[in-house]
Amino acid sequence: MNKDLNPRIEEAVHLFHEGYNCAQSVVAAFADLYGMERDLALRAASSFGGGIGRMRLTCGAACGLFMLVGLATGATDGANREGKSHNYALVQQMAEQFRAAAGSLTCAELLALRADAKHDDPQAAPRTEAYYRGRPCEYMVRLAATLFANYLTDHPAAVAAKAHDA
């Protein structure tokens, strides 16, 4: 991995510890590479925390990773089936890497929550030492940021090309 990207990984973890959700933390650490202001990145990713709106579905850190893949490779022409297909293939590749390292893409499974429990409480949990100690979320944020940093290391044009578009 490009060592210049290590600070972005650490920034994602830092943002998570500042209280931003998992998706926000991942996206905001890299969004400026695509000309996206931090406030916009934080708003765009805000609904994906807690496994999408705290419903414990797809892990928010993984959602943040997929949002970054879209910034790097997303098609901007609705008729561009090849571009869409390339993006979808990369999302699937990243999802498999995330799943292989984390054991799942599902927030509820990562948090070891009961499968039959309802996950519809929209109330954000207070961020305490116990919160951070009892959850794997920091690891998921670090993992998602590392996977994207690895992608950028292997595909430096993914930044250069999109930065000029912005």
Buried b (16+ CB within 10 A) or exposed e, 55-77: ebbbbbbbbbbbbbbebbbbbee
CA 135/CA 105 separation, integer angstroms: 15
Rounded to an integer, the average pLDDT of 68-95 is 95
Rounded to an integer, the average pLDDT of 21-37 is 97
Which residues lie below 8 Å from residue 156, measured CB to CB, with a gap of 6+? Answer: 2
> Tens digits of per-residue pLDDT, 117-142?
777 778 888 888 888 888 999 999 99
Judge whether residue 56 has pLDDT over 70. yes
* pLDDT confidence bin for 163, thresholds 50/70/90: low
Q: Which residues pair with 132 in a beta bridge?
A: none
Judge whether residue 31 has pLDDT over 60. yes
The pLDDT of residue 161 = 55
Half-sphere exposure of 73 (CA within 13 A, CB side): 20
Supply the pTM of this predicted model.
0.91
49, 70, 136, 153 from 75: Cα distances, Å: 24, 8, 33, 21
Domain residue ranges of the chain, discontinuous segments joined by + = 3-165
Rounded to an integer, the average pLDDT of 65-81 is 95
Which of the two residues, 118 and 70, has the higher pLDDT score? Answer: 70
Provide DSSP, 89-103. Answer: HHHHHHHHHHHHHHS
The pLDDT of residue 130 = 85
Rounded to an integer, the average pLDDT of 77-95 is 96
What percent of the chain shows pLDDT beyond 70?
A: 95
Provide DSSP, 37-99. Answer: -HHHHHHHHGGGTTTTTTS--B-HHHHHHHHHHHHHH---STT-HHHHHHHHHHHHHHHHHHH
